[in-house]
Amino acid sequence: MQKILANYHTHTVLCDGKNTPLEMAQRAAELGFTHLGFSGHMDPDIHMEIQEYYRQIGLLKEQFKGKLDILMGVELDALYDPDCAPQAEYIIGSTHFMDVDSEIPMSVDNSEEMLAALCHEFYADDYYAMSKAYYELEATVYDRLHCTFVGHFDLITRFNDSLHFLDETDPRYYMPALEAMEHLVKQGVPFELNTGAVSRGRKKEFYPNNYLLKNLHEFGGEIFISSDVHQREHLNGCFDEAARAALLCGFDHYNILEHDGTGKVVMREVPLR
């Protein structure tokens, strides 16, 4: 099994991460990475000062030129302005927030308390109704953002390991998820195999979970493997385990982004073995 030496879901102090962009790049170099993509949040409640982001990542590109291919991406929420980061070289399309009439943005991954309040106020305490609405919104993420890949597809389950509010084997849960997944695959957008919650000890399975990942392969989907890192120690967190999970689900390769000889960002397949 080949070592994964790239990450495209990287957060820093410019949004909600713990380390500077330089510290992240230094850690990537220490690990022998070949590619590092930064993807600061631009969503309703966490968004960067975008010009400062452009400036800092631009400096890093020059500093690490010839040593580490650095890409300047962005993570956009389905409900945020798709034109807020016009110079981004790639887009992670994520769904954190539900499309509800609330004074404050309400996300599915902020806290257990917010999730419960969201479900109580807008879905009459019916978590299956909320998850169905989540996946209906998730199905629109490419149409809204024209994203490069889909981030943490089943983020609605962020607190399910502790709260058990959904039975993930129940058709009321997984059928809307599969419908959204198949729709996005048909649109040609890859999915992220996201290791972040597992590497931080928050969940037992990656996003997407094993059942959804198997179906993603059966649908003909493509994957990236990323750590959704917020502190440098987790930059390559659980990459080997994610590669094994992908192999068990039928995948024989993952994808990376890189600059070609003209400076254009292109996608390339990398064998898992």
CATH of domain 6-95+135-271: 3.20.20.140
Q: How many CB atoms lie within 10 A of CB 182?
A: 17
Q: Is the pTM of this model over 0.85?
A: yes
Average pLDDT over residues 11-24: 97
Number of helical (H) and strand (E) elements in the chain, helices listed first: 10, 9
Q: How many CB atoms lie within 10 A of CB 144?
A: 16
User: Where along the chain do its domains lie?
Assistant: 6-95+135-271
Instruction: Please provide the average confidence, as pLDDT, over all residues in the chain.
Output: 97
The reported pLDDT for the residue numbered 44 is 83
Q: How many CB atoms lie within 10 A of CB 53?
A: 23
pLDDT tens across 97-130, in order?
999 999 999 999 999 999 999 999 999 999 999 9
pLDDT tens across 207-247, in order?
999 999 999 999 999 999 999 999 999 999 999 999 999 99
